Amino acid sequence: MPELPEVETVMRGMRVHLEGHTISRASTHHTGLRWPFPPGLAQALEGQRIDGFARRGKYILITLSGGNVVVLHLGMSGRVLLSRPTQAERAAPAALHEHLVIETGEGARCGLVDPRRFGMVDLVPVAGVEGHRLLAGMGPEPLGNRFDGPWLAAKGRGRRTSIKALLLDQRVVAGLGNIYVSEALFRARIHPARAAGEISGAEYDELATQVRAVLGEAIAAGGSSLRDYVQPDGELGYFQHAWRVYGREGAGCPDCPGPPACDGVERITQSGRSSFFCPRQQEA
DNA sequence: AACAGGACCTGGTGGC
DNA sequence: TGCCACCAGGTCCTGT
């Protein structure tokens, strides 16, 4: 599911719903996700006040009063369900694939649903978060000051890998995934299969601009809903309606006049993953 | 070192 | 209707 805009939307929803609350009950309903849950996770959460929320790339960071931070990744299929259950609802069992549930003394409930279990949950001391093995090598935030065309150009210099693969590399820039890479490359008019080392400085400048633009628009729209992704409050994100190429193989390119000048959006597979592009706007 | 591919999981969809 | 192959928002790890 979730790339940066969806993770940001989920994190904001959790903040509104849970910030300042104290966890009264926590339970796990599986041994773990991608990796086993930290030993004693539920007990470690109980009694903690939830002091703050942040996002780093596709990770959600939840600061607890006792000095620990919950590190949460939603993988491919992770969802967060937020509610204020009645007494009767509290007695209900966890939903299918709801692997972690917390309740607060203030009456809120938060369930982590992840059918495919590609996500992860860790609990680390706040001092160790930056050095966390999964976070330490992560590149700059695409909406932050450290990310720009020259940064991308430096990362792409001499590389023969595709620009698509470069943008998916979380060490280069944090938070992009398969959808927004296709969208950003379309907007910047760069073919996804071009070698990263062959992209010009001007093109990298435009690419960085378009990465920021598409992510900003998607966050404003509450992310993209597809399959079962919804915002934590149950609302649908609606950026999927703004996709110009992703998932639109065979459809008309939004910036082309149509046949015979352009046959529309094409799909190719790059290292096992689909890329969508317009062959007329994005030359190989 | 850089790169491609497999691996980890479940569920939905479309074809036969 | 049933079965099966294929596809899916991620990313770590291994082998070349």
Q: Determine the average pLDDT of the residues in A66-80.
A: 96
Give CATH 1.10.8.50 domain extents, chain A: 149-277
Q: Quick check: A246 and A268 in contact, CB under 8 A?
A: no
Fold (CATH) for A4-128: N-terminal domain of MutM-like DNA repair proteins (3.20.190)
pLDDT by residue (tens digit) across A3-51?
999 999 999 999 999 999 999 999 999 999 999 999 999 999 999 999 9
Q: Quick check: A50 and A62 in contact, CB under 8 A?
A: yes
Fold (CATH) for A149-277: Helicase, Ruva Protein; domain 3 (1.10.8)
- The closest alpha carbon to A151, from A192, A218, A219, A209, belongs to A209
Residue A167 pLDDT > 90: yes
| pLDDT (0 to 100) of residue A228 | 47
DSSP state, residue A58: T
How far is residue A178's CA from residue A173's CA, in Å, rounded to a whole number? 13
Q: Is A248 annotated as a binding residue?
A: no
Residue A89 pLDDT > 60: yes
Q: Cα–Cα distances in Å, from A170 out to A68, A162, A165, A239?
A: 24, 15, 10, 22
- The closest alpha carbon to A13, from A53, A49, A50, belongs to A53
For the entire predicted model, the pTM comes to 0.96
| pLDDT (0 to 100) of residue A67 | 97
Q: Is A58 a catalytic residue?
A: yes
User: What percentage of chain A reaches a pLDDT higher than 70?
Assistant: 96
- Determine the length of chain A: 284
Q: Determine the average pLDDT of the residues in A203-226.
A: 93
Within A105-148, strands assigned E span: 109-113, 120-125
Give CATH 3.20.190.10 domain extents, chain A: 4-128
Catalytic member of A3, A8, A103, A183: A3
Q: Is A2 a catalytic residue?
A: yes
Measured to protein CB atoms, the chain C nucleotides within 7 Å are 7-12
Q: Is A3 a catalytic residue?
A: yes
